[in-house]
Structure 1
Amino acid sequence: MQDGTHILPIRVYYEDTDFSARVYHASYLRFMERGRTELLRAVEVAQSDLHAEMGGLAFVVRKMTIDFRGAAVMDDVLTVVTRPKEMRGASMTLAQEVRRGDEVLVTADVMVAAVRDGRAVRIPDELRTALAVPSP
């Protein structure tokens, strides 16, 4: 974590690419999912613990706005950057980027909702505190 932002390095493997040897678009979704999971771990909140200790609490992607700006290729080392953008009662929006060096390849705003038994629930206070959205 650096100033409320999580940085995750990822290497591109053959399995991440398509027939053109470029990263398949859905692979970026997996990379960003890892970034969100590791953000929670970095603030010492494991999703498995939330689920087990809070009666089945889980986060689900509610909405994603994504912009593909460039393509990565096999063996590239990418960086997934994840930071809290907005916190609401039962949802939060995270801003994510996938970079190769200083080049931004993909940007996304991802809204996730806290749910239990299929219904939205308030995000736990300890997680709100740990992921406090910086003031502008």
Structure 2
Amino acid sequence: MPHEFRVQVYYEDTDMGGIVYHANYLKYIERARSAWVRDLGIDQNAMREQGIVFVVRRVEADFLGPAKLDDELIVKTETVSVSGARLVMSQEVTRTGKPLFRAEVTAVCATLSGQPVRLPAEIRQKVH
């Protein structure tokens, strides 16, 4: 079942045309992923204290329609695949059920110095 995260579009999110600036969709999906892992019981602060962080390795995105000031959006996040080293997620931003933005995001774990590491087993189990 997809995780759902609500977003309200504020004036600061829009461009001169009154629509959501394209880069803000990346912020919306980042917030949704953070809420998703928190809701799964994954403590990113504890991970960082252990020297491991999530890093986005790849984003493939499609802009399907404009969101505008005061729109109420829903970001849906779900796992596509999990391996020993990577987590692939599908994310979709909708307004009243209509898709506006879709992305496939690949995340990996890394040390604080940026060296890749395997996803911890307990994280693989929670996101699967």
Smaller-chain TM-score range? over 0.9
Partner-residue secondary structure (3-state), 2:68: coil
Partner Cα distance (2:121, 2:83) in 1: 11
Partner Cα distance (1:18, 1:71) in 2: 11
1:86-113 CA distance string (max 9 Å, x none): 1122211110000001100000000011
User: Please, which runs of 5 or more residues in structure 2 have no aligned partner?
Assistant: none
Q: Give 2:61's match in structure 1, choosing from 57, 66, 70.
A: 66
Alignment correspondent of 2:96:
101
**Residue identity matched to 2:28:** F
Counting only pairs closer than 5 Å after superposition, residues 27-38 of structure 1 correspond to structure 2 as 27-38=24-35
Partner Cα distance (2:8, 2:46) in 1: 28
TM-score normalised by length of structure 1: 0.90
Partner Cα distance (2:4, 2:110) in 1: 26
Alignment correspondent of 2:123:
127
Partner-residue secondary structure (3-state), 1:107: strand
Q: Give 1:89's match in structure 2, choosing from 65, 84, 87.
A: 84
**Residue identity matched to 2:43:** A
TM-score normalised by length of structure 2: 0.96
- Asked whether 1:10 is paired with 2:13, we answer no
Among the aligned pairs, what percent are the same residue? 38
1:46 shift after superposition: 2.2
Alignment correspondent of 2:107:
112
Instruction: Please identify runs of 4+ aligned residues in structure 1 that moved more than 3 A.
Output: none
- Asked whether 1:75 is paired with 2:57, we answer no
8 Å CA contact retained: 2:54, 2:110: yes
Q: Give 2:19's match in structure 1, choosing from 22, 26, 41.
A: 22
Q: CA RMSD in A?
A: 0.8
**Residue identity matched to 1:129:** Q
**Number of equivalences:** 127
